[in-house]
Structure 1
Amino acid sequence: MIQPAVLFICTGNICRSPTAHALLLHKARLAGVPVDVDSAAISDEERGNPPDPRSVAEARRRGIEMHAHCARQVRSSDFERFDWIVGMTAQHCAALRRLAPAGTAHKVHLLTEFSEDDEGDVPDPWYGGQQAFVEAFDLIDRGVDGLLAKLQAKTR
């Protein structure tokens, strides 16, 4: 069975992308789908920091444990290692395409492309209250479900 590799990207790698990382790991494990998952940032401003406590709290409230995480910036080698590089916003995806080595930009996708119910960006909850984290989690959850369905289809 082929093990796909997925990299989630957000601005600082402390809210949205670690949430998507934890959700995909959890759901893939339950579905019996082997997957290599990581997350990274466009920016280096949060490098070395753990996930935002509000993201951790929302995940925990829903029965998802966040993995040990240390924020990092996306690297050029990520474009070779990962099959799917999934941004939270169109701006993230545009930045990723600019960074992508020749022949790898096709790996970049917007998370909501995988959701039947959503389109556009997953807003950054960092500036909002706990409700912003609830709403971001819901969008990420639906996107991860759609991505997992694609991964399952490709690993059969």
Structure 2
Amino acid sequence: MRQNGPYLWATALIYQIVISASSHLCLASASAVGFGLPRRTLSAHSSALGGGSSCRRRQVVMINGEKKPSSILFVCLGNINRSAAAEGYMRSKRPSLHVESAGTGGHFAGAAADDDMQLAARQRGVDLSSHRARQVTDQDFVRFDMVVAMDSSNLRSLQQRCPAAYQSKLHLFLPKYASHLGLSDTPDPYYEGGHLRVFDIISQGIDGLIASEKL
């Protein structure tokens, strides 16, 4: 057994060198693709080290060195109109993305989406019939890559509740993703009506989010 010791030690050392090289190549590959270098050339070198599939997985979630969001929570007050519509429209555009919605208040918890918002969504080809309202939980700040507030009032509520480590996950919807509309807050049809107009505003914001975050 002692005679095999140096052999086993050398084998383990070589294995560690190969794994390390593969890991560095993955990182270089993800960065190089961002600079326009040929993906096929990088894949060939990666495969030679046995790291092809791992590199491809990393490239899916990396853009210019930044991780793409894979989960988004939309938040309004009651979670029966605006955030429900945002969730439904985003799901229709990006079915593979983990998308949910919630309200800062819990007064409508368990309720379906507002009938008028469901009608507006159907007119745009989106089904909200399975939606059930829920309230934001502390765990949401951990679970989701992005927490998007539909208006500044709900953003403040989230900021007051969110731990400091996760504050960077909070975003205000329209100013960031549909600034051309000139709206700070997504209108609340619960008080103002105009559900179809609000749904169309939200759709523009979602389209902007998809483009901005390269989803």
TM-score (norm 2): 0.65
60-69 or 81-90: which moved more? 60-69
Whole-Å separation in 2 of the counterparts to 1:94 and 1:127: 20
- Deviation of the 1:102 alpha carbon: 2.3
| Structure ID, larger Rg | 2
Tell me how far 1:51 sits from its aligned partner.
Answer: 0.4
Quote the residue 1:24 is aligned against. Answer: 90
Q: CA deviation at 1:56?
A: 0.5
Residue of structure 2 equivalent to 1:77 = 139
Map of 2:74 onto structure 1: 8
- For residue 126 of structure 1, what is the aligned residue in structure 2? 190
- CA gap of 1:5–1:107, structure 2 versus 1, over 3 A, is same
Distance in 1, matches of 2:145 and 2:204, equals 20
Are 2:126 and 1:64 aligned? yes
Aligned partners of 1:128, 1:41: CA distance in 2, in Å? 18
Distance in 2 (CA, whole Å) between partners of 1:68 and 1:54 is 15
SS at match of 1:40: strand
Amino acid at match of 1:120: S
Identity value in percent: 35
4+ aligned runs moved over 2 Å, structure 1: none
Structure number with higher relative contact order (C-alpha < 8 Å, ≥ 6 residues apart): 1
Q: 1:87 aligns with which of 139, 146, 149?
A: 149
Gaps of 5+ in 1: none
CA distance in 1, matches of 2:146, 2:208: 13
1:22 partner amino acid: G
Matched, 1:115 2:181: no
Q: Does the CA-based 8 Å contact 1:20-1:140 persist in structure 2?
A: yes
Maintained 8 Å contact 2:149/2:155: yes
Equivalence map 1:133-152=2 (5 Å) = 133-152=195-214
Paired residue total: 147
Tell me if the contact between 2:84 and 2:113 (Cα under 8 Å) persists in the aligned partners: yes
Is the Cα contact below 8 Å between 1:46 and 1:72 reproduced in 2?
yes
Tell me the distance in 2 between the aligned counterparts of 1:43 and 1:105: 19
Gaps (5+ residues) in structure 2?
Answer: 1-59, 62-68
Kindly indicate whether the alpha-carbon contact (under 8 Å) linking 1:4 and 1:151 is maintained by their aligned counterparts in 2: no
Post-superposition Cα deviations, 1:96-154, rounded to whole Å, max 9, x if no partner, equal 0111012101111111011142230011101234xx112211211111001111332xx
Paired amino acid for 1:106: S
- Which AA in structure 2 matches 1:124? D
**One-letter amino acid of the structure 2 residue matched with residue 27 of structure 1:** K
Change (3 A) 1:78 1:124: same
Distance of 1:36 and 1:65 partners within structure 2 = 17
Provide the secondary structure at the position in 2 that maps to 1:48: coil
